[in-house]
Structure 1
């Protein structure tokens, strides 16, 4: 049995780092040629930045709780959202970090399976991993997970128990070693 490395927890300061990332992300979206009509927070990590971006951009927000892993729950909501995009609505999905790309890849697959229009779909994250298998359209910070092994602890996660944060980090050992 191998031991998993102890993660280097990196806590983002709420009103300094986090809000600066949200404001930068909002500026990048506003300055782009593509403008969303809805912000969609991806649960759990994208809900808080999604709310902040929806206020910053003055757009309505929807949420998809992908992290709940309740069978069919997120799939049904994603089918509704895909129909919105097919009808011409521009949708901005927001998550906290694009690390491995698993969440974004799964969401894209489910959206495409429900008839989503690619031209009406964009993804934004606070932190983007250059080596992720998924691409995003907007990000505030870029990291290279091959070199940067910090486990980012966002303000809404910081209220959790440290042992739970460490357990979550260690559940994905390839990001730490």
Structure 2
């Protein structure tokens, strides 16, 4: 895609989002590990985490990672890391594992706070097979080598198209 070209916006239907969330919930319940808390990674993981917490019938916590407010996410991650050290199982949820940057940051911050990584799992709705990190649960996979669409989740669809395009254009390596 040339720098001047607009990204291909792909709007995910609400019913597809619900089906994907239920697919993640089923994947979790098929295993022997069950979370004590679902942890939504803000901003994109908050809505899926709410739905998933209801589907799994477990409480939800949230971490606002996307705001980039210094110290804010780190303080909350330190608190949940302490919970994991006490044996509490935590399922972190985001909308997409695209480059893996968010999940890698969360894992690093958790480790820096003494997290027991055996008590932590990650789930996403969309998992890029070329991501630098792996997740434990996902509904669907994409391959960024072939799939250059910019996914617009239902909660993002209320945003202005110009804002969505601007966000997509801020990470051209995912679209090229």
Is the TM-score greater than 0.5?
A: yes
Aligned to 1:6: 6
In structure 2, distance between residues paired with 1:27 and 1:137: 13
Aligned to 1:39: 38
In structure 1, distance between residues paired with 2:86 and 2:51: 26
Matched ranges for 1:94-105 at <5 A: 94-105=93-104
Matched ranges for 1:126-165 at <5 A: 126-165=125-164
Task: Say what the alpha-carbon RMSD is for the aligned residues.
Answer: 0.9
Runs of 4+ residues deviating >6 angstroms: none
Deviation at 1:5, TM superposition (A): 3.3
Matched, 1:61 2:60: yes
Between the two proteins, the alignment pairs up a number of residues equal to 175
Partner secondary structure for residue 67 of structure 1? coil
Partner secondary structure for residue 148 of structure 1? coil
Aligned to 2:70: 71
Partner deviation per Cα, 1:21-57 (whole Å, 9 max, x = no partner): 0111100000012111100000000000000000000
Matched, 1:82 2:81: yes
Deviation at 1:4, TM superposition (A): 4.3
TM-score (norm 2): 0.98
Partner deviation per Cα, 1:148-172 (whole Å, 9 max, x = no partner): 0010000000000000000000000
In structure 2, distance between residues paired with 1:5 and 1:101: 25
Aligned to 1:51: 50
In structure 2, distance between residues paired with 1:72 and 1:4: 36
In structure 2, distance between residues paired with 1:52 and 1:138: 15
Asked if the contact 1:4–1:170 (Cα under 8 Å) also holds between the matched residues in 2, the reply is: no
In structure 2, runs of 5+ residues without a counterpart are none
Asked if the contact 1:5–1:170 (Cα under 8 Å) also holds between the matched residues in 2, the reply is: no
In structure 1, distance between residues paired with 2:148 and 2:4: 13
Partner secondary structure for residue 3 of structure 1? coil
